[in-house]
Structure 1
Amino acid sequence: MPRVRGRLTADAPLAPLVWFKSGGSAEWLFEPADIDDLCDFLSALDPAVPVMGLGLGSNLIVRDGGVPGVVVRLGKPFAKVERLDPVTLRCGGGASGILVSSTARDAGIGGVEFLRSIPGTVGGFVRMNGGAYGREVKDVLVEAEVVLRSGERRTLGLAELGYSYRHSQLPEGAIVTGATFRGHAAEPAAIGAEMDRIAAEREASQPLRSKTGGSTFKNPQGHKAWQLVDQAGCRGLTRGDAQVSEKHCNFLLNLGAATSADIEALGEEVREKVKAKSGVMLEWEIQRVGVAL
């Protein structure tokens, strides 16, 4: 491995870093000291070694055989949020949705309240075009700063990211190190009230205090995934210690000792049952990475 100024750990357990609390280890876990450290490392790294970014691990299944290559995790050096002008924020790739939305509130910037409900980092929800409550990242993104697998720094405009529903065309192995979001002028009190409403609605409808992975399946055109899962009789369905949430059945839960194989297999069983009942084949929204055992 190339020399680094940050932290480079071999055979690093990933289960503690993801919401499901399951899965294997990263062959290497790299937490760069700053963007130059990241660029230097990637440019010196053998191009054949795969690279994957990891945020809060809130929408991720890490398979039990672990992740080959290098997992890059952006820490505090990448978690800053600053106001550029009265309606624009520049955010580090490691900043959480809560930090971004709270900073926007304090600055009187409306339009990004929905990020309060996305349990991830800027890097993750820019890559996935994360969204909730009728808005998506593409609605507020101006540009994203990325480091390509080659170590080259690039700034990509909205059109270059090729956004669609919960998907971008970000190049393989690229790490999102920052993003610029633009909202509109609004009263901090009104922004705060909307954020509180979103938080209360999520608390009431989703199993937020469980070991989960967020929304499991994408909403098919003209349907809600949770309704299809419910109609197929899958609410509360279990496999080992993995369960379809009874509170919101587009969420899978780890009740205690579920393996990632249990969780993924339960998801596949749900997909088959929904297909048999409704004719709709659900698409995974949760990212599944690594090697199955």
Structure 2
Amino acid sequence: MNPADFSKARTIQETTFLEDLDDSQSKKLASVLDELKSSTKATQVYRGVSRENLISKLTLENDAAILDEKLFTLLFYFGEKAKHYYEIEDPLAKSLRYLKCVEDLSPTSNEGIFNEILHSFNNCEAAKKFSKIAPDFFSFFQNSSNLEKFNTGIQRLGQISRDYYLYFLHTIGHDAFSKHSLLVSTSTNFDVASAAGNYVIYYIIPDPLEKYAIDPISLSIQKLEENLMNHELPTYNKKVNYPTEYEICVRSALFARSILGVKNNTEKTFIVNPHIFSNESGSIINGLSIDQSDFEDSLPETAYHRGVVLTLDGHYQTIEKNN
């Protein structure tokens, strides 16, 4: 983390205006950054987005003139979610062959994922490239008799195993899958993220990483891959299509409680998540404490068709908006 990133730090003050940090806030931010620097219990990633992209998801008006303080207030409350939550409307979601919702581990859904991976090897150049560096992964999906094994394994191992395979479809840019995605792309490399958008979200993934994200080359994924192999399912074997992108796919959403802030590359400013400065903020490493008691009631004011929550037992669960 480059200290220069925070030399022009601002936040949304109690006045609701975007202003420079006061002395106590500067000290608090320095303390948070020191904690992150010394911690081995979190992974920092970056996500580049355009202002227009944030506006299209966080507002209904799609108003280009929206003030930054309003836009960032929405981001630090609702977070940013995977395409499934804003590209797929509720009636369409219920009619889908697979991934009707984040809880969907049905045989029909698992078959759809299996078939999309199989078809990608025939129709997607990135998938064809991957088949050459991971032949065992490729050959598994060429054999239709493995479908039953695939379905059984995912149902036994749960959402994390399904999302492990969704990583493949997500990262190859498979067109048919794109709008269904339950993953959010991030990178451990700031420059890679900056190429995707002028605003760069600084996001903190708590440990264990695999509970919150999929990174096939991390050591933390080893236990999951051992479980997959015990069910005779294929693994990536530390292979990825685009190693120079340093991609980590966050599961379902960038939750507001784990957003450190946003770097505006044009203005060279850093907008700190204001919840860091509340008296009972908690730790950014474990997730900030944010009052989201009216989340369901406020969700219809955004372009998100539904929300998502991570339950205490580690499952992702749909939040229906109150109309």
Do the structures match in fold with TM over 0.5? no
- Structure whose residues are more often helix by fraction: 2
Would you tell me which structure has more strand in proportion to its own residues? 1
The higher radius of gyration belongs to 2
The answer to which structure, 1 or 2, has the higher relative contact order (CA under 8 A, 6+ apart) is 2
